[in-house]
């Protein structure tokens, strides 16, 4: 079995079905169902098949060949946004981040269709996997090539492709070499042009279109006579500009959250769009890399993996990961055109203030509560020495400092971390807090003198909310108020707080474009760890805390049950009396 360059065995991936033709459409039952197959009609190239809005859509994954360099992959995989060193990495990023497979269709792959039968070996798997064992014989052939790019594909001789078990390849499918004249009698389809892109030393043979098409999707003709369902992708390609001396690598492509959103029409011409349906930015039933299809609550192996994962990252890095996921969950970044059309506004910050934003408000409340419980568990789950729990407290305090205004500026993330630190089961640990003040004095002082007053002001609607200082505003007070929760305190104070909260909600919706710009600026140049990013999503935290079966229970029952679990853990660490 061949293994991709990042060590991931593609045949072991449950979503990969190997060579599969159009019967793949029968396996896609609901919107969001997806699988990956090797298409026979596309020369064995990988194709992501996904059902979206009642139709089965097929997206051919583009492969970009690079000049061999030590420590760098020779092939990258791409749909429209950034490129990935392997097909599993691409699938994991799109599924975990709930990103549209193409901007034109807005299709989102959320539920994998698992393979039921063993994979049949064919040339299609060789197309998917560019292992060193394949590249070396091709490199040894040493055919001439008049172009500086595409060296991995030259030398793919007729003899090399006619071995046992290999299928015949037409001469037109072979790359052109310097001594092979080719006369094109008909224009090549856009799909084949996009797939033939090869990058080397910052130079490309094809030029990307200026902007994506406005049509929902442009379908390519299908030889079978069936309705065409292959969706045209518009890949973003780095410009072929001359690089300075001594710099041979092209500039890395900007990820999707750095792309500037196009305004479809001028502000003065924009009219009200009637909402079509409630929109969710946290789709359920995501496949998770660190959790199997079925998992029990608080699996020890997963908790150990997560502990090591968080220890590998500096609090500043973790804060940016949390900001990215919070921006997606709030609908500030990554909102597709289809979602904007469905909710009638351009941002989740506007949607949560409207009557049909109730689903978003409930999702944000659950996210806040789940992250707070997970943060408390990080402290109460430390059954070892006292210093270990104090170190866990210090880690949460440092994360809160990295999330505060002026730093990452992620106020929902800050509120969740502070809720964990102020939870009664954590705040009652007197010995642990005493050890924090003794061993980590600066963190203890920052918590008492800076973070607690800041959080109190934010909850009362009087904290910092400028989009330059804040990337994502504190939405919890407005969400709780709109969901009917009563404000604490005397009546006169609660009335003033009510007015401040409503004014802040209006200002937040009005400043949504400025917050989007501030968040994109914080994340510029940031490259997230896929596993850490997954671990911070609402669906993952819910499955981690309550298991695959308990995650579907009513929210109030789940919260009450876990609060009892935390109380038991707190009593075991420091019993009363």
pLDDT in the model for residue 395 = 95
Distance, in Å, from the CA atom of 477 to the CA atom of 483, rounded to the nearest integer, reads 10
Give yes or no for a contact between 109 and 101, defined as CB atoms under 8 angstroms apart.
Answer: yes
* Alpha-carbon torsion angle 45, 50, 56, 58, nearest 10: -20
pLDDT for residue 322:
97
User: Which DSSP state fits 449?
Assistant: I
SS3 36: strand
> How many distinct helices (H) and strands (E) make up the chain?
22, 9
**H runs (alpha helix) in 234-299:** none
Q: pLDDT (tens digit, 0 to 9) for every residue of the chain, 577 residues total? A: 333 334 466 778 888 888 887 677 888 988 889 999 887 766 678 889 999 888 888 888 888 887 776 666 778 888 876 778 888 888 888 888 788 888 778 888 988 888 887 776 543 444 454 433 333 333 333 333 433 334 333 333 333 333 443 444 343 333 443 333 333 334 444 344 334 433 333 333 444 444 444 333 333 334 344 444 566 665 554 433 333 333 333 334 456 666 544 443 344 445 556 776 778 887 665 678 888 888 999 999 999 999 988 988 899 999 999 999 999 999 999 888 888 888 888 899 999 999 989 999 999 999 999 999 999 999 999 988 999 999 999 999 999 999 999 999 999 999 999 999 999 999 999 999 999 999 999 999 999 999 999 999 999 888 888 998 999 999 999 999 999 887 776 767 778 888 899 999 999 999 999 999 999 999 988 889 889 999 999 999 999 999 999 998 999 999 999 999 999 999 999 998 6
pLDDT at position 84 is: 82
Judge residue 361's burial from the number of C-beta atoms within 10 Å of its C-beta, 0-12 exposed, 13-18 middle, 19 or more buried: buried
> Which pLDDT tens digit goes with each residue over 323-373?
999 999 999 998 888 888 888 888 999 999 999 899 999 999 999 999 999
Question: Are 10 and 4 within 8 A, CB to CB?
Answer: yes
* 309: helix, strand or coil: helix
Q: What is the pLDDT of residue 259?
A: 57
Per-residue pLDDT, 10 = 78
Tokens standing for residue 323: 């900001």
**So what's the pLDDT on residue 316?**
93
What per-residue confidence (pLDDT) applies to 229?
Answer: 55
Contact yes or no for 41/19 (Cβ under 8 A): no
Q: How many Cα neighbours within 13 Å face the side chain of 47?
A: 28
Pull the structure tokens for residue 568. 């038991």
Report the greatest alpha carbon distance in the chain: 90
- Give the C-alpha separation, 81 to 359, whole Å: 29
User: How many angstroms separate the Cα of 526 from the Cα of each of 239, 258, 445, 500?
Assistant: 21, 9, 30, 34
- pLDDT at residue number 491: 67
Tokens of 339: 């979602």
pLDDT value at position 71? 63
Of the CA atoms within 13 Å of residue 205, those in its CB half-sphere come to 19
CB atoms within 10 A of CB 173: 11
Q: Is 49 exposed, middle or buried (0-12, 13-18, 19+ CB in 10 A)?
A: buried
* pLDDT on residue 5: 39
Confidence at residue 98, expressed as pLDDT on a 0 to 100 scale: 81
């Amino acid at each position: 079995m061949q293994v991709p360059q990042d060590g991931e065995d593609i045949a072991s991936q449950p979503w990969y079905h190997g060579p599969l033709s159009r019967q793949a459409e029968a396996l896609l039952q609901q919107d969001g169902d997806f699988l990956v197959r090797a298409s026979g009609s596309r020369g064995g190239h990988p194709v992501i098949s996904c059902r979206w809005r009642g139709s089965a859509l097929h997206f051919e994954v583009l492969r970009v060949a690079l000049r061999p360099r030590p420590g760098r992959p020779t092939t990258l995989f791409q749909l429209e946004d950034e490129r990935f060193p392997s097909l599993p990495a691409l699938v994991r990023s799109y599924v975990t981040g709930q990103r549209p497979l193409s901007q034109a269709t807005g299709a989102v792959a959320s539920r994998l269709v698992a393979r039921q039968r063993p994979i049949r070996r064919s040339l299609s798997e060789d197309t998917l996997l560019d292992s060193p064992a394949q590249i070396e014989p091709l490199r040894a052939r040493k055919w001439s090539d008049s172009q500086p790019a595409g060296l991995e594909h030259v030398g793919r001789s007729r003899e090399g492709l006619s071995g046992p078990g290999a299928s015949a390849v037409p001469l037109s499918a072979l790359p052109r070499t310097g001594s092979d004249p080719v006369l094109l009698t008909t224009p090549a389809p856009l799909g084949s042009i996009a797939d033939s892109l090869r990058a080397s030393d910052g130079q490309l043979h094809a030029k990307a279109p200026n902007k994506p098409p406005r049509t929902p999707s442009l379908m390519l003709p299908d030889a079978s006579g069936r309705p065409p369902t292959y969706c045209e992708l518009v890949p973003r390609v780095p410009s072929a500009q001359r690089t300075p001396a001594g710099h041979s690598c092209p500039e890395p492509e900007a990820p999707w959250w750095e792309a500037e959103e196009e305004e479809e029409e001028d502000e003065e011409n924009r009219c009200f769009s009637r909402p079509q349906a409630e929109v969710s930015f946290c789709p359920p039933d995501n496949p998770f890399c660190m959790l199997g299809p079925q998992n029990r609550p608080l699996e020890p192996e997963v908790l150990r993996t997560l502990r090591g994962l968080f220890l590998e990252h500096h609090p500043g890095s973790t804060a940016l990961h949390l900001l990215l996921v919070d921006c997606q969950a709030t609908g500030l970044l990554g909102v597709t055109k289809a979602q904007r059309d469905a909710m009638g506004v351009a941002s989740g910050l506007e949607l949560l203030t409207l009557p049909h934003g109730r689903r978003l408000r409930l999702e944000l409340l659950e996210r806040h509560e789940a992250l707070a419980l997970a943060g408390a568990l990080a402290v109460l789950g430390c059954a070892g020495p006292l210093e270990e729990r104090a170190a866990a407290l210090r880690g949460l305090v440092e994360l809160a400092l990295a999330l505060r205004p002026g730093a990452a500026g992620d106020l929902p993330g800050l509120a969740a971390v502070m809720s964990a630190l102020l939870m009664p089961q954590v705040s009652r640990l007197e010995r642990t807090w005493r050890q924090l003040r003794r061993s980590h004095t600066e963190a203890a002082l920052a918590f008492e003198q800076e973070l607690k007053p800041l959080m109190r002001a934010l909850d009362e609607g009087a904290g910092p909310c400028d989009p330059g200082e804040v990337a994502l505003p504190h939405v919890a007070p407005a969400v709780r108020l709109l969901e009917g929760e009563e404000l604490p305190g005397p009546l006169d104070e609660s009335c003033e707080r009510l007015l401040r909260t409503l004014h802040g909600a209006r200002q937040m919706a009005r400043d949504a474009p400025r917050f989007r710009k501030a968040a994109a600026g914080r994340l510029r140049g940031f490259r997230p760890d896929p596993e850490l990013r997954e671990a911070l999503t609402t669906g993952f935290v819910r499955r981690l805390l309550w298991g695959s079966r308990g995650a579907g229970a009513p929210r109030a029952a789940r919260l009450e049950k876990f609060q009892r679990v935390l109380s038991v853990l707190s009593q075991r660490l420091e019993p009363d009396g």
